[in-house]
Structure formats: structure tokens, C-alpha cells
């Protein structure tokens, strides 16, 4: 069972509030491993750590110098980013990166790298020449056929790396092998991964050599490989990404759950498919629920706190007239734009965050959360903070102290997921029935076995059967603004106990193991905009 924590090495500890000896570095991450262990995540997915050009953003806004903070501007593919090291030589960079990986492994945490092979920092025809342009421009990049001084740009970054040219393919393969064999990482997430499926003519290939090479190569067979299965030129391959063992960032999961939790009608069927592991996307080609990387937020977009606090993006600090970043965020501010000193609005926002957390961690597939979402990290409504190596993007460790109740909820939801095999199945549901007469997965509305799939419904319930000695799990989700009384399934020889109710204040919102509350009766009132989870004993 993998639970991914997407994070930025520098931003994780660079704030003075982190209290670490080596802020903003690989060593700083080591100092915060106890925090990750307590939260319960099993893998960190690191934003780019290859040497990148932080100076390719040159704007200054309100006296603040902007820079490329995220790192999707790779300069050297075989070197750790020197700014993340405390040392004076490249060997110090390598040693400290390896020390971080070793320490994370000793804590039982895998290391997945976000890698950028779709483009390089050399940009378009006006960009600099660092490497590939000077070695063999026409081999490494897609050039416009009738005017080869210009570059085809499928990435939105000025150029496109020719990943399936034999030379480009070999470079990628050698690079990945180096980071596995010499730096001991456990996997990779491929930024704009669909670019790696484009052939020499730029068209998508059914069997792109580089992707199958990665999938089948002996040195990479045990690594986790995850694709962002789209690119900036409109190629969208969710459920169709070439290969069999690739995980995919499931944007359809994100969109459906966001719409559902904010109260949109007409999404019940879509939400059910996503919670059940997106079989419609992956089962047809023999894949499993684990091919779906489920997420609500990622580095590019609102934080979870901002998702429930802003209807609109607020990217003025980026110096682009608030024209950058996407406009369609499926967010809801709960009645007021931005921070507000209103107990009712703040309580609703807190409940909405818990609803997202509960649904994410109750869904089949691999869950991913983003650095700081567990303590309500905010970017002030900025949904494209790529250029802010400052407090806008950094983890504010004061929020850990201020949001202990939220951290507790995430911690025990993660623990709940780990303890119940029914939530993280290796295969899709088949309709198998357990000894108590429950199907492996059954759907309901407020009435048992009568899910309301029509366009007006905002409620959904489901039961996941436990087998042998495992607990059954019954989940009721009410995203309506009125309470609803849900019927409960009967379970021969067992009783229902409440483990989670997101409308309850902490610590009653989630029970620690063994402290669940027995349910008396055959129905349960679920309050507006709440998720309730029962287990059988």
C-alpha cells in the first residue's frame, strides 16, 4: 500500500518556522522525517531535484525577485540541484542526496522523483545553449520541418525533447538507470508524460520505444513509474497511456470529487466510478486499481485550504496580470472569498477539507496528498506559484501547531486506510459475497441498494465487504445542504460502529482504533456536507 506525499525539497524546510539546522536542503528533509513518519505517508514524490535553472524567471514584483521555484527547467540530468545542498562541491550534493534517500528508506519511506524529459531549459530559438542545442540540435529536438531554426512546442515551454529518437531514448534510459543504481531512488513521475509517446513526426505512437524500454528494462523493473498522462498540446491519455504498469495521475478523479464535494449535481455516477478505482479507465487493458493515482490537489493548482477558501485564482504576485494559471478550478469558498474571521464559514471549510481527505483515503487506487494540505497550508489563492521561492510556497510550520486537529484527522485517516484491506484492493470488484451476505462493493442512496444516479442527487453511500476476519466498511456521503437519514445494511453476527463523522468536532470526528462508537438502530442521520464511515465488529 502506497500513500504518496508530493513535496518540494527546498520549500519543505526553507521557512524560518521549520526550526531545522539546514533549511531548504536534502539534510533539512532528513530532520523532518519524524513528521512524515507520524503522518503515515509511505512515499515522497519530490518536485524536480535534477540541477535546474532557477534564474530563468527574471521578473520582479513589488520589490520581490521571482525565480523558477518548482524546477521544471532542467540543465543537468545527472546532478542533484546544488541549491539543495549545504556543501561546496558537486560531490557534496551527491552525498547529501544519497544520505537523504538512505534516511528515508530507513524510515520506511520510498523516494519518487518528478522528472522532466519532455523539454529542457534551452527554450525556443531565442533561448540559451547549454547542452543539446550545441551537440546535435536536430536530433534532440523537434524542429519545424520547413524552417529548422524554430522548434515544435508540445510542452508549453519552448521546445520538445525528441524522446523516441534512438539517441534521445538512450539518454533517458541511461539517466533513469543512474538515479536508480547510483542514487537508489524508488521511482519516477514523468512530467507531461504524453510527450514521451510522440514519435519522430510528433504524432502519438501505439508502442513508443522509450516507454516500453522503461517498462521492460531489467534495471528499472522494480521501480514505480507514474505518468502525467497529458501534454500542453492537447494529447490526453488518461486510461490510454501506453504500457501496462504505469500509474497515472488521474485528473478525472480530481475533477469528479471536487465537483461532488462542492455540491454540484449530476456527478454521482462519475464519483462512484472514481471511488471504485476507475475500472472504466484501466480494467479494459488488464490493469488494476493501483494504476490510478488519486489526488485532489497537486503542486500546480490550489492547495486544499485554498480550494475551499477561494472561488477565483489570485495570481497577481506572479507579475502576469493574473492571466496565468487555470480558471476552471471547481473550487468553492464556502460563502466568502479568502480568509475570514467567521466561525461558521471556517467550520464549514474545515469540514470540507475533512470530506476531501476522507473520500481520497477511502478510494480504491493510490492516494496522493500535497505538502501542507494536512495542516491547511495556503498560497493566498495563488494557483500557479511556480515562481515563488518565498513564503507563498514554503511550508509554514506554525500551521502545524495551529492545525493539530486537522493533522490528527489526516493521520488517523491514513492509519484507517492501512488497517482495512477492503479499501486498498489489488484487483477490481467482482461481486463476490462474504459470509455475512455482503457483496465486495454495493452502492446505495439514502435507501439501501437504491443509489440515485439522476441529475439532482448529492448523496451516495457504499459498502465494502471484509473477508475472513476483516471489517466491513460502510460509507455515507451527504454533500447536500440538508441532513439525510441513511438506511444501514444488516450484518449477520456483527454490529456497526462509527469510525468517522466529519461534522463532529475533534476528537469526535475520527476515532482512534478501538474507540469507535457503537451504532444503535438501522439508520443514521448524516448532517449536511458530511462523510460518515462505519465499520463492523
Q: What is the pLDDT of residues 286-318, one digit of tens each?
A: 899 999 999 999 999 999 999 999 999 999 999
Cis omega (within 30 of 0) for bond into 507: yes
Residue 442 C-alpha from the chain's centroid: 27
Residue 429's pLDDT is what?
96
At residue 115, the 3 state secondary structure works out as strand
Does residue 524 form part of some domain?
A: yes
Q: Is pLDDT at 336 greater than 90 in this prediction?
A: yes
Q: Domain range holding 501?
A: 429-536
Estimate the share of the chain in helix, then strand, then coil, as percent rounded to the nearest 5. 30, 20, 50
Give domain status of residue 91, yes or no.
no
Exactly one of 110, 169, 191, 231 is catalytic; name it: 191
pLDDT tier, 285 (very low <50, low <70, confident <90, very high otherwise): confident
- The number of distinct structural domains making up the chain is 1
Q: Residue 98: pLDDT band by 50, 70, 90 thresholds?
A: very high
pLDDT score of 292: 98
On whether residue 278 sits in a domain, the answer given is: no
Q: What is the mean pLDDT of residues 413-419?
A: 98
Q: Is 526 contained in some domain?
A: yes
pLDDT in tens, 190-214: 999 999 999 999 999 999 999 999 9
At residue 7's C-alpha, the angle toward residues 76 and 87, to 5°, is 50
* pLDDT over 90 (residue 58): no
Domain for residue 157, yes or no? no
pLDDT bucket at 12, cuts 50 / 70 / 90:
very high
- Asked if residue 436 is part of any domain, the answer here is yes
Give the pLDDT mean for 172-184.
98
More confident residue, 89 or 382: 382
| Mean pLDDT in residue range 121-145 | 96
Alpha-helix runs per DSSP H in 182-302: 209-216, 251-261, 268-275, 279-282
Residue 435 lies in a domain: yes
Q: Is 191 a catalytic residue?
A: yes
- Give residue 63's pLDDT: 87
Among the listed residues 93, 228, 231, 440, the single catalytic one is 228
**Given pLDDT bands bounded at 50, 70 and 90, which one contains residue 383?**
very high
State the pLDDT confidence band at 454, using cuts at 50, 70 and 90. Answer: confident
Instruction: Give the mean pLDDT of 178-183.
Output: 98
Answer whether residue 56 shows pLDDT above 90.
no
The pLDDT score that the predictor gives to residue 21 is 98
CATH number at residue 493: 2.60.40.1180
Q: Cα separation of 440 and 70, whole Å?
A: 42
Amino acid at each position: 500500500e502506497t500513500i504518496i506525499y508530493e513535496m518540494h525539497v527546498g520549500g519543505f524546510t526553507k521557512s524560518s518556522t521549520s526550526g531545522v539546522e539546514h533549511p531548504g536542503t536534502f539534510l533539512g528533509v532528513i530532520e523532518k522525517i519524524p513528521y512524515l513518519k507520524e503522518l503515515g505517508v509511505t512515499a515522497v514524490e519530490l518536485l524536480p531535484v535534477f540541477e535546474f535553472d532557477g534564474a530563468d524567471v527574471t521578473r520582479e514584483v513589488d520589490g520581490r525577485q521571482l525565480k523558477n521555484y518548482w524546477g521544471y527547467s532542467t540543465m543537468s540530468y545527472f546532478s542533484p540541484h546544488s541549491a539543495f545542498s549545504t556543501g561546496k562541491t558537486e560531490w557534496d550534493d551527491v552525498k547529501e542526496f544519497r544520505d537523504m534517500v538512505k534516511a528515508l528508506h530507513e524510515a520506511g519511506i520510498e523516494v519518487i522523483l518528478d522528472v522532466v524529459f519532455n523539454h529542457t531549459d534551452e527554450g525556443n530559438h531565442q533561448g540559451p545553449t547549454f547542452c543539446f542545442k550545441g551537440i546535435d540540435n536536430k536530433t534532440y529536438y523537434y524542429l519545424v520541418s520547413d524552417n529548422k531554426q524554430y522548434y515544435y512546442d508540445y510542452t508549453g515551454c519552448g521546445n520538445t525533447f525528441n524522446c523516441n529518437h534512438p539517441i534521445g531514448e538512450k539518454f533517458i534510459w541511461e539517466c533513469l538507470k543512474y538515479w536508480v543504481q547510483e542514487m537508489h531512488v524508488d521511482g519516477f513521475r514523468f512530467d507531461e508524460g504524453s510527450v514521451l509517446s510522440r514519435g519522430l513526426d510528433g504524432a502519438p505512437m501505439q508502442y513508443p520505444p522509450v516507454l516500453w524500454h522503461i517498462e521492460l528494462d531489467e534495471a528499472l523493473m522494480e521501480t514505480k513509474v507514474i505518468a502525467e498522462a497529458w501534454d500542453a498540446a492537447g494529447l490526453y491519455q488518461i486510461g490510454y497511456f501506453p504500457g501496462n504498469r504505469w500509474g497515472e495521475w488521474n485528473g478525472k478523479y480530481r475533477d469528479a470529487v471536487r465537483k461532488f464535494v462542492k455540491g454540484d449535481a449530476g456527478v454521482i455516477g462519475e464519483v462512484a466510478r472514481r471511488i471504485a478505482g476507475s475500472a472504466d479507465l484501466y480494467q479494459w487493458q488488464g490493469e488494476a486499481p493501483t494504476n490510478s493515482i488519486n489526488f485532489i490537489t497537486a503542486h500546480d493548482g490550489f492547495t486544499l485550504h485554498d480550494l475551499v477558501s477561494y472561488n477565483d485564482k489570485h495570481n497577481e504576485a506572479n507579475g502576469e496580470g493574473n492571466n496565468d494559471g487555470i480558471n476552471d478550478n471547481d473550487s468553492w469558498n464556502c460563502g466568502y472569498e479568502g480568509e475570514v474571521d467567521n466561525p461558521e464559514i471556517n467550520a464549514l471549510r474545515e469540514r470540507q477539507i475533512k470530506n476531501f481527505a476522507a473520500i481520497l483515503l477511502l478510494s480504491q487506487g493510490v492516494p496522493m496528498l500535497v505538502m501542507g494540505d494536512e495542516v491547511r497550508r495556503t498560497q493566498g489563492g495563488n494557483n500557479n506559484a511556480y515562481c515563488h521561492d518565498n513564503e507563498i510556497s514554503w511550508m509554514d510550520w506554525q500551521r502545524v501547531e495551529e492545525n493539530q486537529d486537522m493533522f490528527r484527522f489526516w493521520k488517523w485517516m491514513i492509519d484507517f486506510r492501512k488497517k482495512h484491506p477492503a479499501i486498498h484492493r489489488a484487483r477490481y470488484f467482482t461481486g463476490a459475497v462474504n459470509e455475512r451476505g455482503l457483496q465486495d462493493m454495493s452502492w446505495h442512496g439514502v435507501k439501501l441498494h437504491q443509489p440515485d444516479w439522476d441529475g439532482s442527487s448529492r448523496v451516495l453511500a457504499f459498502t465494502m465487504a471484509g473477508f475472513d476476519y476483516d471489517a466491513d466498511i460502510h460509507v455515507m456521503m451527504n454533500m447536500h445542504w440538508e441532513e439525510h437519514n441513511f438506511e444501514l445494511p444488516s450484518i449477520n453476527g456483527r454490529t456497526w460502529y462509527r469510525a468517522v463523522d466529519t461534522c463532529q468536532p475533534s476528537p469526535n470526528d475520527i476515532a482512534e482504533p478501538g474507540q469507535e462508537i457503537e451504532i444503535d438502530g438501522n439508520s443514521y442521520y448524516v448532517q449536511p456536507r458530511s462523510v460518515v464511515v462505519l465499520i463492523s465488529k
